[in-house]
Amino acid sequence: MSEAPGYQRFFAELKRRKVFQVAAVYGAAMFGVLQAADVLVPALHLPEGLITGVAVIGLIGFPIALVVAWTYERTAAGLVRTGEAAPGELTQIITAPAAKRWPVGLAAAAGTALLLVGGWLALGRPGGPLRGARRRSATHSVTEQAQCSVLLLQKGPLAQQPVVVIFEGSERALAVGRALSRVYGCRLVVLAAGSDAAAAEALEEKAAAWLARHETIGEVDPLAGPEPEALGEALRARYAGIVVLDRHGALTPRLEPVLSEADCSVLVLK
C-alpha cells in the first residue's frame, strides 16, 4: 500500500497529538469567558478595558495552546514531549471511517470560529478599540461638518447611553449633539443650563423649539444655576455617554473641572 499524501499524515498527526481537541475546547471556553465578561464587567462597574484585555489574552493564547498541544502530551508523570508515531499509527487514523475522523476536526473548526467571533465582538463592541476607532472617525466627521473643532475627547460613548447637550443658547451645540445621537443611535438629552430658574425655563423653550423645527426627538430638562456637583449628579442620573457643550458658554469655565473628571466623553466646541 502506497504511503498517504503529506497533508493527510499532517492532519492525522494533529489528531494524534490532540491538537484538534485543544482547539475545540479552548475556543469554546474562551467564547464563554468573553460572553460572561461582557455581562459581568458593566454589571459590576469594572473598567471596560478588562473585556479588551481578556479578548487580547485569549487570542494570543490560542496559538500558544496549539503549539503546546503539538509538542507535549499529558501523562501520569505530567507533561512530557510527544514521541514519534508508532509504525502504522497514522495509517490507522487516516483509514478510519469518516464518522470517526470528521467530528473532531469539525469541533476544532467550530471552536476556532467561536474564539474569533468572540474576540471580534469583544474588540468591536461599543467602547472597544475597533468600534472606538470608527466612533472617533464619525465624531470628527460630524464636527467638521458643523465647522467646529474639538477641545477634549476622552472616550467614545457606550452602548445605548445618551448624548447630553449642555445648552446655554448655542444652536451649534444642539446641531452637533443631534448629529452624534444619529451616528451612534443614542437618545438625545438637552440640559437647559441657565443662571436661574427663569433663564433655564427660557432656554428649555428655545431648545424644544429648535428640536421641533428640526424634527428631532429629544428630552429637554431645565438646569438652573448648576454648580459643578449638581451637573455631575445630573449626568450620572442620565447615564451620559457623551457630553457636548460650547466653550463660549457663560457656565463652561465653572463646569469644565467636573467634566474633565466625568466618566464619559466630553466634546467642548471651540
Q: What are the structural domains of the chain? A: 6-124 (no CATH), 133-269 (3.40.50.620)
E strand map for the chain: 72-75, 78-81, 163-167, 188-194, 219-224, 242-246, 265-269
> What does the buried/exposed string (b/e) look like for 20-33 if buried means 16 or more CB atoms within 10 Å of the residue's CB?
bbbbbbbbbebbeb
- Between the alpha carbon of residue 159 and those of residues 63, 146, 170, 240, the distances in Å are 32, 24, 27, 11
Query: Nearest to residue 241, comparing CAs of 265, 213, 210, 267?
Result: 265
Handedness of CA 32, 35, 38, 44 (dihedral sign): negative
Q: Encode pLDDT of 120-173 as tens digits.
A: 888 765 555 544 554 555 555 555 555 554 444 444 444 457 888 888 888 888
Q: What is the pTM of this model?
A: 0.53
How far apart (Å, rounded) are the C-alpha atoms in residues 119 and 28?
Answer: 12
Q: Which pLDDT score, from 0 to 100, does residue 32 have?
A: 93
- Between the alpha carbon of residue 57 and those of residues 128, 145, 258, the distances in Å are 15, 39, 35
- Has residue 3 got a pLDDT over 70? no
Q: Which pLDDT score, from 0 to 100, does residue 157 have?
A: 45
H or E stretch covering 62: helix 49-71
Q: Encode pLDDT of 172-197 as tens digits.
A: 889 888 888 887 777 899 988 888 88
What are the grid coordinates assigned to 21, written together? 481537541
How far apart (Å, rounded) are the C-alpha atoms in residues 232 and 228?
Answer: 6
Lowest mean pLDDT, pick from 28-32, 51-55, 85-89, 253-257: 253-257
